Structure 1
């Protein structure tokens, strides 16, 4: 288990120039404040940084590991994952958009004969919708991101590991898979669940209520 490269850079910047505001950090890293929000939340919750209102972030001398980090490291993905929104590769883009909004999700996962082959997000659907293409005639397989370019997780991963992947790769959700079969050098996967930002948020809310 380790912090992402960006989280390590944030720690270094704060340690050297503390106190540092989120605006200053975003400027130094070349990203938006919104992009840093989850990183700063994790670093604060595990005790590496202290957030001081109207002042900024300072480096904490507390150990990086604390009870919170231990807790989320012990929770397995199988305990927090939810049912994925899955469609077939031949589904037309129009129908996929309807399915996405009816299920209130940010990403739909695409399978072919039970094998995970891709994923399509709201951004993918937005791009093709505003391009003048007839979305009633284009299958989702044309616009999706294909395997192996999809970040996946396993049911026995820790909640911390999966949350770190979501932050590091700046994605909405991660499919949870199990190996279906090995075809030569390529593994084929069956999707058994998903973990999204919503799942992680629910976990923290649950932790707060249990105090």
Structure 2
């Protein structure tokens, strides 16, 4: 492990590694049984460990430790990269923006998620899935404000600039979303969207490291 890089696996992730090392190959269900949790609960941990090359899996066989040193280096590097280094600019609309105009914006900007902002404060998040549901529900999309269908706090999952790529990947997998707002906490306790991190951002970083 490279000196100076601090890799922080959770206690549960370390336990998973220990179980796989001892009993490989082993299925996800068996790992969950040994820890006393459900397979669904472990899914984010297994996904992150697989993504970073710590473990591999074969269908109908199970998980086993990866022997690829190059892949293991990915985890070291991802654990040292801050979101401030990879963030994209947020694409924002206001609560009064119509669903129709939001759909136009999401395609023109080629993003999967819009942030709803009022007076410099993050108020909500709208995904392509939200917009698809709105179109299927009928009604005049040009008169329906985006504030009606957006996801509001406390259901919004956020990141800060000083979190790592690994932190963001875990949140994206655990919450089954495509994109997270990167926020700055203001003096009044409200949040300002200063960036975004998506599955695409993380995939690009992994590809750059792999090359």
Shorter-normalised TM-score: what interval?
Answer: 0.7 to 0.9
2: CA distance, partners of 1:91 / 1:61: 51
Residue in structure 2 matched with residue 110 of structure 1 by the alignment: 116
Q: Give secondary structure in 1 for the equivalent of 2:74.
A: helix
5 Å-filtered alignment, 1:59-78, equals 59=65, 67-78=73-84
User: What is the count of residue pairs matched by the alignment?
Assistant: 196
* Structural RMSD (CA): 3.3
Is residue 163 from structure 1 mapped to residue 169 from structure 2 by the alignment? yes
1: CA distance, partners of 2:15 / 2:131: 34
2: CA distance, partners of 1:22 / 1:165: 20
Alpha-carbon distance change, 9 to 122 in structure 1, aligned in 2, over 3 angstroms: farther
Residue in structure 2 matched with residue 174 of structure 1 by the alignment: 180
Q: Which runs of 5+ in 2 are unaligned?
A: 1-7, 32-37
2: CA distance, partners of 1:181 / 1:59: 46
1: CA distance, partners of 2:204 / 2:112: 16
2: CA distance, partners of 1:60 / 1:100: 39
CA deviations 1:86-105 (Å, max 9, x no partner) are 11111000000110111111
Is residue 147 from structure 1 mapped to residue 157 from structure 2 by the alignment? no
Does the aligned pair in 1 maintain the 2:180–2:196 contact within 8 Å? yes
2: CA distance, partners of 1:10 / 1:142: 42
Alpha-carbon distance change, 140 to 48 in structure 1, aligned in 2, over 3 angstroms: same
1: CA distance, partners of 2:84 / 2:186: 18
Residue in structure 1 matched with residue 35 of structure 2 by the alignment: none
Q: Which runs of 5+ in 1 are unaligned?
A: none
